[in-house]
Structure 1
Amino acid sequence: MSPREYQLGKRTAGVAETRTRIVEAARAVFAEDGFHLAPVEAVARRADVARATVYYQFESRLGLIEAVLDDIERRGGQQRVLAAVALADAIEATRRAFEEGSRFWAAEHILVRKLMGLAAADPEIRQLVVQRDRNRLALVTRLAERLGAQRRLRPGCSIQKAIHTLWLLSSFEAFDQLLTGQGLAADDIAALLFELAERALLRSP
Structure 2
Amino acid sequence: MSPRRYDSQVRDAAARETRHRVLEAARASFLAEGYSRTTVKAIAAAAGVSEQTVYSRIGGKAAILKAVYDTALAGDDAPIPQAERPATTRLQHAGDARTLLAEYAELATDINARLRPLLELVHGARAVEPDLDELARTGARERRFGTTMMAKHFVGAGFARPGLDEQSVLDLVWVLNSPEVYLLQVRENGLTDEQYRNWLTQTLLDSLTDRRGTGSAG
* TM-score between the two structures when normalised by the length of structure 1: 0.83
Aligned position for 1:194 = 201
Return the letter of the residue paired with 1:137.
R
Aligned position for 2:120 = 113
- How far apart in 1 are the matches of 2:164 and 2:136? 29
1:19 and 2:30 matched: no
- How far apart in 2 are the matches of 1:156 and 1:10? 56
1:164 and 2:171 matched: yes
Going by fraction, where is helix more abundant, 1 or 2?
1
SS at match of 1:108: helix
- How far apart in 2 are the matches of 1:127 and 1:90? 37
What pairs with 1:63-78 in structure 2 (closer than 5 Å)?
63-75=63-75, 78=82
Structure 1 unmatched runs, 5+: none
Q: Give the drift of 1:83.
A: 2.8
What pairs with 1:1-205 in structure 2 (closer than 5 Å)?
1-2=2-3, 9-75=9-75, 78=82, 79-89=85-95, 91=97, 92-205=99-212
Return the letter of the residue paired with 2:66.
E
Q: Give the drift of 1:167.
A: 0.7
CA distance 1:152–1:15, shift in 2 (3 Å): closer
Return the letter of the residue paired with 1:169.
L
Deviates more, 1:42-51 or 1:73-82: 73-82
* TM-score between the two structures when normalised by the length of structure 2: 0.79
- How far apart in 1 are the matches of 2:136 and 2:96? 27
Aligned position for 2:215 = none
Q: Give the drift of 1:124.
A: 4.0
- How far apart in 1 are the matches of 2:6 and 2:165? 59
SS at match of 2:35: coil
CA distance 1:196–1:37, shift in 2 (3 Å): same
Q: What's the % identity of the aligned pairs?
A: 25
Return the letter of the residue paired with 1:29.
S
| Aligned-CA RMSD value | 2.6
Number of residue equivalences: 204
CA distance 1:139–1:90, shift in 2 (3 Å): farther
CA distance 1:84–1:179, shift in 2 (3 Å): farther
Aligned position for 2:216 = none
